[in-house]
Amino acid sequence: MKLWHCHNARSLRPLWALEEMGLDYELEVLPFPPRVFQKTYLGTNVLGTVPYFVDGETHMTESSGVCHYLVEKYERYDFGLRPDHPEYGAYLNWLYHSDATLTFPQTLVLRYTQLEPEERRQPTVAADYRKWYLARLRLADRRLAETEFLCADRFTIADIAIAYALLLGESLDIHHDYQPQTRDYLERMKARDGFQRAQRAQEDAAPTA
């Protein structure tokens, strides 16, 4: 298996999952954004985004989807739920919710506060989508007020998917407005050995230039 990744980008989800599962993989860390700083990457992934993930004939570009693939393909149900589990629907909902609902608004904050040149920055757009993101956190806030993990009373890839969205919020300085139980959950997830190993793996493979 090979994973293309940028430091703490969404490709951290599959990197973290690979480390939690102890699977063998090759890691290539690219400068961000690769479509600007490593244009040859477009020959590998036409979208220019990370993650890009290859396992034999399988090629994937969706961070939560790769985590789901690893559970199913390698039967790592110690990190996932089977369809006959009563919380299977909730588990899938967290996996899709993590990127479609929680990461998406944050990318607008990132783009219009940091990535665009000064003259194209849009403080109003950034402020609106920051608010949007915090409002969409209500589902996780409510769940985390009741439980330690998102589903099945144990750690699963749903926690990886959602905790990454929370981590991105931290890098955008939105986390000061998280509810206390959500902040505590993020700290618990970051303290995991698997998360720490993923952090070290990306440092070790960081581009030197």
Ligand X SMILES: N[C@@H](CCC(=O)N[C@@H](CS)C(=O)NCC(=O)O)C(=O)O
| 3-class DSSP assignment, residue 43 | helix
| CB closer to ligand X out of 54 and 85 | 54
**Alpha-carbon gap, residue 51 to 163, rounded angstroms:** 17
**Alpha-carbon gap, residue 196 to 200, rounded angstroms:** 6
Residue 31 as a binder of ligand X (CB under 6 A): the answer is no
Residues 109/130, Cβ–Cβ less than 8 Å: yes
Minimum Å gap between C-beta 4 and ligand X is 9
How far, rounded to the nearest angstrom, does the alpha carbon of residue 153 sit from its chain's CA centroid?
21
Residue 62 as a binder of ligand X (CB under 6 A): the answer is yes
Binding window for ligand X (CB under 6 A); candidates: 19-27, 57-65, 131-139, 177-185: 57-65
**Alpha-carbon gap, residue 96 to 102, rounded angstroms:** 9
DSSP state of 27: E
Minimum Å gap between C-beta 157 and ligand X is 13
Residue 20 as a binder of ligand X (CB under 6 A): the answer is no
Residue 157 as a binder of ligand X (CB under 6 A): the answer is no
Which listed residue (1, 20, 49, 140) binds ligand X by CB under 6 A? 49
**Alpha-carbon gap, residue 86 to 191, rounded angstroms:** 28
Which listed residue (15, 21, 29, 50) binds ligand X by CB under 6 A? 50
| CB closer to ligand X out of 64 and 156 | 64
Residues 7/206, Cβ–Cβ less than 8 Å: yes
How far, rounded to the nearest angstrom, does the alpha carbon of residue 169 sit from its chain's CA centroid?
11
Minimum Å gap between C-beta 146 and ligand X is 27
DSSP state of 154: B
Which listed residue (19, 20, 99, 159) binds ligand X by CB under 6 A? 99
Which listed residue (7, 35, 131, 197) binds ligand X by CB under 6 A? 35
Q: Binders of ligand X: how many residues, by CB under 6 A? A: 12
Residue 111 as a binder of ligand X (CB under 6 A): the answer is no
DSSP state of 178: S
List residues binding ligand X (CB under 6 A): 9-10, 33, 35, 48-51, 62-64, 99
